[in-house]
Amino acid sequence: MTRKIHINQSIIKTKFINMKKSIVIVLMSILVSSAFSLCMAQTTAPQENKNKTTTSDKQQPTKVDKDVYTCPMHAGVKSDKPGKCPECKMNLVKKEAATAEYICPMHSEVKKDKPGKCTKCGMNLEKKEIKKSNNPQKM
């Protein structure tokens, strides 16, 4: 009878050791997968943050565009003040500043100044040209 008890105890010890090994393997697997997912989250997070606009971005003062005057016949002639083209003596005209804005086709309130994805539906934003005229219109 003591032999049976001794055999049963040795079987229990080996099962207990196997269970410890299994627990260690499971914990190591969890640790490795957590470390991997953390590394992946850090590499993808900056890309996601680039596409998000915050209210602080909207409140920052915009860069003041300087007026640029060009010759209608000679695109290479540029000046920061009105005057005459040195090549053909035509009046230089103020160039209209054109900027682009990216808008979601489904959510028109989602607007960004760079290409990206909509924060609501994930669709690609579409480019929309915005012309800012520096010349006041005469009526």
Mean pLDDT of 82-97: 87
> What value does the mean pLDDT take over residues 14-25?
87
pLDDT in tens, 48-73: 444 444 444 444 444 445 778 888 88
pTM: 0.29
How far, in Å, CA of 95 to CA of 8, rounded?
A: 94
- The pLDDT of residue 65 is 54
pLDDT at 35: 84
- Tell me what the mean pLDDT of segment 92-119 comes to: 85
Residue type, 99: T
